[in-house]
Amino acid sequence: MAKTIAEILTKLHQRNQLQKGEQAGSIDQKSTEFECPKCRDLEGFIVRLEDRTEVWRYCECYEKKMLAKRVERLFKSSQITEKFRKMTFANFSLEDRPQLIHQAFQCAESYLDYYPDIKEERQNSIALLGQPGSGKTHLLTSIANALLDQGVGVIYFPWVEGLNDLKDDFSQKNEKVQQLKEIEVLFIDDLFKGRKTATDWQKESLFEIINYRYLNHLPVLISSERDIDEICDEDEGIGSRIYQMSKDFTVVLKGEENLNYRLSEEQEAV
């Protein structure tokens, strides 16, 4: 938020008074200590340009404060719980896990690394699909948490609970759907979980969101027990768009090996 001229002048006056006090030896040691010695807590400087005009430039400390406030606001609106907030790549266990789990981990890490370069492209999304309990939600939440820490807007949308919320508060449906359409990154967890076949209302609502994001090159993070073919069987328009958006970063976790990350964690805890 831009500072007013009055605020800047007030701080400059305070600094001048402080400097005078220091010279007179009337200020005690503690009062001369600043959180940011560079700008002496003024959060910026007056800089003289080549044409001799003077402008206000914000200090790095101000930018960091603004980022911290933005991150705090983003987390509050992300719908990510405190439990999910603790999910990171660092606490995702790969010990004795099948190769497919390692591939999913590498895919998720790579996506986060490439995100700044691909976020405005057509292929800017990631899909981890297949067996329940294989760590899909943990890995995608790790991406979401890291992006939020960087000041990127993310909304977490668990398929079953999210749709129930839209139906229970139908008067706010349009506003909520608009948020899901326009947020910088949308995380849809457990897509098509529950019913064998999604209702027409569910598919229409999802298509509206996915199609908007597809057309406007807005990333999605998607976990689902269904692979792309199965998603297309449910709705080809939705499935084909998800495929186009995430085909560079997709892992399907299916096979004979035990891929159940959740069960493995429970066994270790026993």
83 vs 8, more confident: 83
CA distance 46 to 61: 15
Domain boundary among 65, 86, 115: 65
DSSP state at residue 33: -
Q: Are 90 and 42 within one domain?
A: no
* Residue closest to 240 by CA, chosen among 135, 137, 122: 122
Report if residue 71 sits inside a domain.
no
**For 224, which DSSP code?**
E
Residues 158 and 91 reside in one and the same domain: yes
User: Does residue 237 form part of some domain?
Assistant: yes
Residues 55 and 100 in one domain: no
For residues 61 and 82, membership in a common domain is answered with: no
Residue 30: band (very low, low, confident or very high) from pLDDT cuts 50, 70, 90: very low
Same domain, 61 and 85: no
pLDDT digits (tens, 9 = 90+) for 51-66: 878 787 777 766 666 6
The strand pair at 44-48 and 54-58 is best described as antiparallel
Helix, coil or strand: residue 79: coil
Domain count, the chain: 2
**Band (243; pLDDT cuts 50, 70, 90):** very high
What is the CATH classification number for the domain harbouring 200?
A: 3.40.50.300
101 lies in the same domain as 26: no
Tokens of 151: 């000041």
Q: Is residue 194 part of a domain?
A: yes
- Do 26 and 100 share a structural domain? no
224 in any annotated domain: yes
Q: Are residues 231 and 147 in the same domain?
A: yes
* pLDDT, tens digit (0-9, with 9 covering 90-100), for 100-133: 999 999 999 999 999 999 999 999 999 999 998 8
On whether both 207 and 86 belong to a single domain, the answer is: yes
Alpha helices of the chain — where are they, by DSSP H? Answer: 5-24, 60-77, 82-85, 99-118, 136-149, 159-168, 173-182, 200-215, 228-234, 236-246, 261-269
- For 72-99, how does the pLDDT look when each residue is reduced to its tens digit (9 = 90+)? 665 565 566 677 788 899 999 998 889 9
C-beta of residue 39 within 8 angstroms of C-beta of residue 59: yes
Domain identity same for 107 and 57: no
Domain limits at 18? 5-65
Average pLDDT, the chain: 80
Among the candidates 44, 65, 86, a domain finishes at 65
Residue 72 in any domain: the answer is no
What pLDDT is attached to residue 96? 86
